[in-house]
C-alpha cells in the first residue's frame, strides 16, 4: 500500500477531529453562514420515453427557475448570479440557460453561466455560487443542474481525441466508456454481481416505498409540458409530477435474470446501473444575514466541499476519496453524518465505496437513488440537495453529505446541515 493509500485509509477510519466539538461547531448559527432557502427539482423521467422526452433542457430549467421564485417568494431582482451544471448541452448550454432565466422572470441584471464537471456539474454549480456569496462577489445566487438525455445523449456526446491525447496512456483512458471501466473495476475490486443486484434491488424498493408515501412530493415541482404519444403520434399536454423510472416488484432474483451489458461474463447491466433520464433542479443560496433581511425561510446550510482526482480507469472510486476530505474540512467524523446521498452511477462503484469507507447501509440513500429513479447527468448534484434536506427535515436529523463519482476519474462531496 502506498503512503497516499495509507493516508486515505487512516482518514477513512477517522475523519478529522470529529466528536461533539465538530458537530457543535458546524451546527452553530452565524450571520455569515451560507444558507439554502429553497431547493427543489422536477420529476426525473425516463430518457426517450418518459414525461420529458419532448421537452428541451432549457425549458425544464425555466420551469424549475419559476418554481424557485414562486416557492421562495424571492424578488427575482435580488438574485445576482445563476450557475447551471450541464454535461451534454451544445455549446455548454450558455445561451439557452440565460434565455431560460429571462423566461422564468429574472431580470437582465441577473447573470447566468453554464459549467461542466461531468456528473458533479450540479453540485459544482452550487459550490461555485456558495463561494461567490462567501467571498462577497454576490449576495444571492442559484446553483442549478439540468440534462435532457432524451435529446442529447448518444455517440455524438463522445469526443474524438487527437493523436497527442491518444499517445498518452493515462490521457487515452479518459475516453473509455463508463460502463466498460465500471465492469473492469468490479472485477478488479471483487464486487460480485450478487452484491450489486442486492444493492440495486434495495434502491428500487426504498424508492417505491418513498414514492407511495409521498416523500418526494415536497421536493418536486410539477411541470406542464407537451408530450407526443409514440403510438398515435398525437401531441398532448401533460403534467409531470412524479419520477416515472421507479418500478415496483424489483428483487435481487429478478435482476439476476438480466443479461450483462458490457461483457458476456460481466456483472453490470441495465438493472444495476443508473437510468438514462431527464430532469432539472435548483438551489437558492445566500448568507444567513441576507436571508433574515429578506424574510427567507432557511432550510439548511452549506458547510464544506471537496473535489479530488483519481485514475481515469477507476472513476467510480471518487466518493471514497472525496468524502473523507469533505468531512475533514468540516471537522466531523463519518459517524456524525445522518444521511449520505451518494450517486448510484453503478451499483458496483457505490457498493465498493460504501464498504471501503465503512458506512452503514441504513444511512445511504434512504429514499433510493439513481438506479431507481435516474441520473440526468448535470442535474444529479443539485437534485441530491433537495432530496437530502427534505429527508433530514422529515426525520428530524441534522447532518448530510452529498457525493458522486465523476467521469474521467474524479470525485466530489459536500457537507450540509439541515435546520
Known catalytic residues are: 119, 375, 405
Q: Distance between CA atoms of 83 and 130, rounded to whole angstroms? A: 10
- 395: helix, coil or strand? coil
CA neighbor of 148 nearest in space, from 224, 40, 61: 61
Asked whether 60 and 52 are in contact (CB, 8 A), the reply is: yes
What radius of gyration, in Å, describes the C-alpha atoms of the chain?
20
Helices (H), 189-299: 193-212, 252-255, 288-294
Which grid coordinates are listed for 337?
A: 453524518
- Report d(CA 409, CA 388) in Å as an integer: 25
- Cell (9 digits) for 333: 467524523
CB-facing half-sphere around the CA of 243: CA atoms within 13 A = 36
Distances (CA, A) of 353 to 277, 350, 416: 24, 5, 20
The answer to whether 37 and 47 are in contact (CB under 8 A) is: no
| Cell numbers 453524518: residue | 337
What string of DSSP letters covers 317-336? GHHHHHHHHHHHHHT--GGG
- Residue pair 412/322 in contact by the 8 Å Cβ criterion: yes
Query: Strand, coil or helix: what is 282?
Result: strand
Amino acid at each position: 500500500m502506498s503512503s497516499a493509500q495509507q493516508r486515505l485509509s487512516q482518514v477513512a477510519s477517522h475523519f478529522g477531529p470529529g466528536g461533539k466539538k465538530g458537530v457543535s461547531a458546524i451546527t452553530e448559527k452565524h450571520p455569515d453562514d451560507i444558507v439554502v432557502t429553497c431547493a427543489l427539482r422536477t420529476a426525473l423521467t425516463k430518457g426517450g420515453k418518459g414525461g420529458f422526452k419532448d421537452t428541451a433542457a432549457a425549458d425544464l430549467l425555466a420551469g424549475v427557475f419559476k418554481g424557485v421564485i414562486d416557492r421562495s417568494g424571492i424578488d427575482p431582482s435580488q438574485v445576482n448570479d445563476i450557475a447551471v451544471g450541464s454535461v451534454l448541452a451544445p455549446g455548454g448550454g450558455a445561451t439557452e440557460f440565460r434565455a431560460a432565466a429571462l423566461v422564468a422572470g429574472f431580470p437582465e441584471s441577473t447573470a447566468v453561466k453554464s459549467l461542466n464537471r461531468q456528473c458533479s456539474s450540479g453540485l459544482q454549480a452550487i459550490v461555485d455560487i456558495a463561494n461567490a456569496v462567501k467571498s462577497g462577489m454576490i449576495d444571492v445566487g442559484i446553483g442549478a443542474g439540468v440534462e435532457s438525455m432524451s435529446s442529447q445523449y448518444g455517440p455524438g456526446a463522445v469526443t474524438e481525441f487527437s493523436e497527442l491525447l491518444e499517445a498518452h496512456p493515462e490521457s487515452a483512458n479518459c475516453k473509455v466508456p463508463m460502463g466498460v471501466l465500471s465492469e473492469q473495476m468490479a472485477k478488479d475490486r471483487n464486487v460480485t454481481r450478487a452484491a450489486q443486484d442486492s444493492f440495486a434491488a434495495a434502491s428500487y424498493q426504498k424508492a417505491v416505498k418513498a414514492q407511495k408515501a409521498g416523500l418526494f412530493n415536497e421536493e418536486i415541482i410539477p411541470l406542464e409540458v407537451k408530450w407526443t404519444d409514440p403510438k398515435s403520434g398525437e401531441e398532448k399536454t401533460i403534467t409531470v409530477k412524479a419520477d416515472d423510472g421507479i418500478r415496483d416488484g424489483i428483487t435481487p432474483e429478478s435482476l439476476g435474470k438480466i443479461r450483462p451489458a458490457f461483457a458476456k461474463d460481466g456483472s453490470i447491466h441495465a438493472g444495476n446501473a443508473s437510468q438514462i433520464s431527464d430532469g432539472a433542479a435548483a438551489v437558492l443560496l445566500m448568507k444567513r444575514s441576507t436571508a433574515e433581511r429578506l424574510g427567507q425561510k432557511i432550510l439548511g446550510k452549506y458547510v464544506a466541499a471537496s473535489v479530488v482526482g483519481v485514475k481515469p480507469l477507476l472513476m467510480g472510486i471518487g466518493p471514497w476519496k472525496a468524502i473523507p476530505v469533505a468531512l475533514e474540512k468540516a471537522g466531523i467524523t463519518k459517524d456524525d453524518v445522518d444521511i449520505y446521498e451518494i450517486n448510484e452511477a453503478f451499483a458496483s462503484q457505490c457498493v465498493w465505496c460504501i464498504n471501503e469507507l465503512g458506512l452503514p447501509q441504513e444511512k445511504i440513500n434512504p429514499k433510493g437513488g439513481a438506479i431507481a429513479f435516474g441520473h440526468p447527468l448535470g442535474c444529479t448534484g443539485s437534485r441530491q440537495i433537495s432530496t437530502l434536506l427534505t429527508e433530514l427535515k422529515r426525520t428530524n436529523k441534522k447532518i448530510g453529505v452529498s457525493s458522486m463519482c465523476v467521469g474521467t476519474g474524479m470525485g466530489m462531496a459536500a457537507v450540509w446541515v439541515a435546520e
